[in-house]
Amino acid sequence: MKKFNFTTAPEVCSQSIDIEIGDDGKISSVRFNGGCPGSLTAVAALTGGKTPQEAIKILDGIRCGGKKTSCPDQLAQALKKLCHSRKA
């Protein structure tokens, strides 16, 4: 299992995201630090067991109000960085 922490963009409510990827390459845990507890607990539960690529397809581009991003979108951005760094 590999653990990662990503600092989110300043315009979202969560300050960072802790992500764990299992040996099978699937998301085993997501924890948002800060933000809306109910919604972000749901996002974490719904992404568990998915590959990073599957989660990116679902979450990428979601906006919060008039903001250009959201906490779910920040998870997608973190997973993109993770995928890119694993390929490098």
CATH code of the domain covering residue 66: 3.90.1010
Per-residue pLDDT of 5-23, as tens digits, reads: 999 999 999 999 999 999 9
Tell me how far apart the alpha carbons of residues 86 and 61 are, in angstroms, rounded to a whole number. Answer: 22
- pLDDT confidence of residue 84: 86
Maximum distance among all Cα pairs of the chain, rounded to whole angstroms: 38
Q: Domain limits at 36?
A: 2-87
- pLDDT confidence of residue 63: 96
The tokens describing 40, both together, are 């972000």
What backbone phi and psi angles, to 5 degrees, belong to 2?
A: -120, 140
Task: Name the 3-class secondary structure at 17.
Answer: strand
Domain count of the fold of the chain: 1
pTM of the predicted protein model:
0.94
- pLDDT confidence of residue 52: 97
Q: What is the mean pLDDT of residues 37-41?
A: 94
What is each CA distance from 85 to 42, 46, 56, in whole angstroms?
27, 24, 15
